[in-house]
Amino acid sequence: MNKQPLEDIAASPSTRLGTLSWVGMEGIALPLKVAGQAIAGRASAGVSLDDPTARGIHMSRLYLALAELEDQELSLPRVAAVLDAFLESHEGLAKRAFLDLEGEALLRRPALISPLSGWKTYPFTLRCRRDAQGLHAILELSVGYSSTCPCSAALARQLIQQAFDEDFTEMPVTRESVRAWLGSDQGVLATPHSQRSQAHLAVRLDAGQAALPLLALVDRVEQALGTALQTAVKRVDEQAFALANGQNLMFCEDAARRLHHALRDQPGLEGFSLRVVHAESLHAHDAVARSQWNWQET
- For helices 252-264 and 214-225, what crossing angle results, to 10°? 140
Encoded amino acid at 197, one letter: S
Percent of the chain with pLDDT over 70: 95
Lowest mean per-residue pLDDT among 54-58, 178-182, 225-229: 178-182
Section 36-55 average pLDDT = 96
What's the confidence (pLDDT) of residue 178?
87
Quick one: DSSP state of residue 167? H
pLDDT digits (tens, 9 = 90+) for 255-289: 999 999 999 989 999 999 999 999 988 888 999 99
Asked whether the predicted pLDDT for residue 94 surpasses 70, the reply is: yes
Q: Work out the pLDDT band at 245, boundaries 50, 70, 90.
A: very high
CA-wise closest residue to 291 among 278, 270, 274? 274
Count other Cβ atoms within 10 Å, centred on residue 274: 23
Percent of the chain with pLDDT over 90: 76
CA distances (Å), origin 159, targets 73, 168, 281: 54, 14, 19
What's the confidence (pLDDT) of residue 246?
93
Quick one: DSSP state of residue 36? T
As a residue count, the chain comes to 298
Taking the C-alpha atoms of residue 280 and residue 198, their distance in angstroms, rounded to an integer, is 11
The overall average pLDDT reported for the chain is 93
First-residue to last-residue Cα distance in the chain:
55
Give φ, ψ of 17 to 5 degrees: -75, 150
Q: Where are the beta strands (DSSP E) in 35-116?
A: 37-49, 97-110
Section 130-146 average pLDDT = 97
pLDDT digits (tens, 9 = 90+) for 2-31: 677 766 666 666 667 899 999 999 999 999
The rounded Cα 108 to chain-centroid distance in angstroms is 16
Q: Output the pTM of the full model.
A: 0.90
What's the confidence (pLDDT) of residue 15?
64
Section 108-135 average pLDDT = 97
Encoded amino acid at 222, one letter: E
Encoded amino acid at 157, one letter: R
Taking the C-alpha atoms of residue 217 and residue 196, their distance in angstroms, rounded to an integer, is 20
What's the confidence (pLDDT) of residue 11?
62
Sheet architecture: strand order including 287-293: 20-34, 37-49, 97-110, 117-131, 134-148, 194-205, 269-278, 287-293
Asked whether the predicted pLDDT for residue 50 surpasses 90, the reply is: yes
Taking the C-alpha atoms of residue 199 and residue 160, their distance in angstroms, rounded to an integer, is 32
What's the confidence (pLDDT) of residue 12?
63
Q: Work out the pLDDT band at 182, boundaries 50, 70, 90.
A: confident
Spatial CB neighbours of 264, under 8 Å, sequence gap ≥ 6: 293
Taking the C-alpha atoms of residue 96 and residue 49, their distance in angstroms, rounded to an integer, is 8
Torsion of CA 253, 112, 266, 98, to 10 degrees: -90
Q: Work out the pLDDT band at 250, boundaries 50, 70, 90.
A: very high
Section 138-159 average pLDDT = 94
What's the confidence (pLDDT) of residue 125?
98
Lowest mean per-residue pLDDT among 21-25, 102-106, 134-138, 158-162: 158-162
Burial label for 175, CB within 10 Å (0-12, 13-18, 19+), is exposed
Cβ 155 vs Cβ 190: under 8 Å: yes
The rounded Cα 17 to chain-centroid distance in angstroms is 41
Q: Tell me if residue 252 falls in helix, strand or coil.
A: helix
Q: Tell me if residue 90 falls in helix, strand or coil.
A: coil
Count other Cβ atoms within 10 Å, centred on residue 4: 6
Section 191-203 average pLDDT = 93
Spatial CB neighbours of 51, under 8 Å, sequence gap ≥ 6: 19, 92, 93
CA-wise closest residue to 121 among 223, 198, 206? 198
